[in-house]
Amino acid sequence: MNLAVLPTRRDEAWRYSDLDAVAKAWPAAPATQISVTAGETEHHYLLQDAADGASAIHDYEISVADGAACHFHVLNIGGALGRVTLNVTLGAAAHFALGGAIIGGDTQTLEIVTTLTHAQPNATSEQVIRSILAGRATGTYMGKITVARGAQKTDAAQSVKAMLLDRTATANAKPELEIYADDVKCAHGATVGELDKNALFYMASRGMDPATARTLLLQSFIAGVFDSVEDEAVRETLEAAALAKLERLT
**What is the separation, in whole angstroms, between the first and last Cα of the chain?**
40
Note the pLDDT of residue 205.
85
Domain that holds residue 80: 12-194
Mean of pLDDT values over 50-58: 96
Residues 6+ apart with CB under 8 A from 232: none
Instruction: Classify residue 218: in a domain, yes or no.
Output: no
pLDDT at residue 1 tops 50: no
Instruction: Classify residue 54: in a domain, yes or no.
Output: yes
Residues 6+ apart with CB under 8 A from 212: none
pLDDT digits (tens, 9 = 90+) for 126-182: 999 999 999 999 999 999 999 999 999 999 999 999 999 999 999 999 999 999 999
Instruction: Classify residue 213: in a domain, yes or no.
Output: no
Instruction: Classify residue 4: in a domain, yes or no.
Output: no
Instruction: Classify residue 86: in a domain, yes or no.
Output: yes
Q: Which residue has the higher pLDDT, 95 or 224?
A: 95
Instruction: Classify residue 141: in a domain, yes or no.
Output: yes
Mean of pLDDT values over 37-47: 97
Instruction: Classify residue 90: in a domain, yes or no.
Output: yes
Number of domains making up the chain: 1
Strands 138-147, 81-90: pairing kind: unpaired
Instruction: Classify residue 220: in a domain, yes or no.
Output: no
pTM above 0.85, yes or no: yes
